[in-house]
Structure 1
Amino acid sequence: MSLDANPEPMLQLTDLHAYYGKSHVLNGVNLEIMPGEVIALLGRNGVGRSTTAKAIMGEVVPVGSVRFKGQEIGGMANHRIARLGLGYVPESRDIFPTMTVRQNLMLGIKNMRRPGKWTIDQMLEMFPNLGRRADNAAGVLSGGEKQMLTMCRTLMGDPELIIIDEPTEGLAPLIVQQVGEMIAEIAKAGVSILLVEQKLSIALKIADRVYVMGHGEIVYGGTPADFATREDIRKEWLEV
């Protein structure tokens, strides 16, 4: 986290609402992420976690305030939001299946003339599975490899904050561990992270703070250590 005496939030949501048609999905979400901080957003399926991510990125129309580095971005087009330094890894693991792994990574670069802190060679070295398949079509990758490729491609855009939506959904335990290690590496590089996740073991291991959602709003916020003592919160809002 930042060592500034009074750092400004990297991302701040204030009274955020969102709708799908007549369905009121977000009911006044308040959340903030400080520079260099890893936030885990927990909750059962259907409570609005992914909608929160989409509202931040402009994929769902937000009602309320979404501020990034002090600038109001609520309602901006998503490509403009991305250019400001926000990265987004959707749950759908969108890749271009007929393009190679290397070509997919190249698509993430925002400015070819001004390289960011991440390079294609770094990505391929950091994740040997991708390195071995660098010149293969991305469509032949496993689910876990596609997840890694999606995160790596987002990093190629040099984001200051990255939103990662359900990165371990449907993955084998060994791959879950690898994805968790990758997210930890991203955090070590100083990138702020909003992690939408259901697996507590991953979220609590790398998060600085935890938010829990229920019925479209934040029902708890605290440190992993405090959350570990809150059996009442886990039972009411997380356990099935």
Structure 2
Amino acid sequence: MLDIQDLHAYYGKSHVLHGVTLTVKPGEIVALLGRNGSGRSTTAKAIMGLVECQGRIRFKNQDILGKKPFEIAHLGLGHVPENRDIFPKLTVHQNLLLGQKGKGTGSRWGFDDMYAMFPRLKERQHTEAGVLSGGEQQMLTLCRTLMGDPDLIIIDEPTEGLAPKIVELVAEYLQRLKARGISVLLIEQKLTIAMSISDRALVMGHGSIVFEGTPEDLRNDPVTRKEWLEV
């Protein structure tokens, strides 16, 4: 599904990613873990064509390095950024409408699916998105991305600042995506959620992958956890 080889990324003269190699298979949840500044969000931006980079990025057997972000999105890659990027003056329903490609025909997801998954959004569908709580905004940006019917979704820190009950809801939501055959690259700091729902775990440090294995492998590797994850 997604195959990245020897990826290097730059912000001007600053060399941020140093030869990142990773894969995400169809219907798989892969957790990308690491401390702030380790390169996780830059990896997501590089995949989506938002930063200067070199190497190889293939999605569904197509080279996407050098393509524009909207071209990458139309191939079936969805990105939920850490800052959420909602349209604050538009209603919840209008934000979801903007996520659709074309007329939304043939999509695996529609308004009814979003409102069934997050009833709170249905209650507030005519409310301006800018007045929603942090948790509601997170629900909205997740759903807006799904309205584009992606085959793989990159989610950057979806539980940041959320109450525990909403965190559990997000975890359930991600498992529903997997059940529908959607691949997930989950960028997360909270080990509990990442380890409980992921098929594989990758750990980043200083712009490189320093660990790859199952969640169980990571649980049994206290050295890696202490050096690259624990505060």
Q: Distance in 1 between matches of 2:124 and 2:44?
A: 30
**Residue equivalent to 1:118:** 109
Tell me the SS of whatever aligns to 1:232. Answer: helix
**Residue equivalent to 1:142:** 133
By how many angstroms is 1:174 displaced? 1.8
**Residue equivalent to 2:96:** 105
TM-score normalised by structure 2 residue count? 0.98
By how many angstroms is 1:113 displaced? 5.7
Is contact 1:56–1:62 with CA below 8 Å preserved after alignment?
Answer: no
Q: Distance in 2 between matches of 1:47 and 1:95?
A: 26
Q: Distance in 2 between matches of 1:189 and 1:167?
A: 19
**Residue equivalent to 2:24:** 33
By how many angstroms is 1:115 displaced? 3.4
Tell me the SS of whatever aligns to 2:153. Answer: strand
Tell me whether 1:230 sits opposite 2:221 in the alignment: yes
Is contact 1:50–1:196 with CA below 8 Å preserved after alignment?
Answer: yes
**Residue equivalent to 1:159:** 150
TM-superposition CA deviations, 1:16-68 (whole Å, max 9, x none): 00011111100000000111110000000001000000000001122100100
1:46 is matched with which residue: 15, 37, 40? 37
Tell me the SS of whatever aligns to 2:137. Answer: helix
Correspondences of 1:1-240 after superposition (within 5 Å)? 10-112=1-103, 114-240=105-231
TM-score normalised by structure 1 residue count? 0.94
Is contact 2:11–2:52 with CA below 8 Å preserved after alignment?
Answer: no
The alpha-carbon distance between structure 1 residues 113 and 107, as it changes in their structure 2 partners (threshold 3 A), is closer
State the percentage of identical aligned residues. Answer: 62
Is contact 1:164–1:194 with CA below 8 Å preserved after alignment?
Answer: yes
How many residue pairs match? The answer is 231
Q: Distance in 2 between matches of 1:57 and 1:44?
A: 21
What is the letter of the counterpart of residue 137 of structure 2?
Answer: K
**Residue equivalent to 1:6:** none
By how many angstroms is 1:93 displaced? 0.6
By how many angstroms is 1:176 displaced? 1.5
Q: Distance in 2 between matches of 1:186 and 1:18?
A: 29
TM-superposition CA deviations, 1:63-110 (whole Å, max 9, x none): 100100111101110000000000000001111111111111111110
**Consecutive unaligned residues in structure 1, runs of 5 or more:** 1-9
By how many angstroms is 1:181 displaced? 1.6
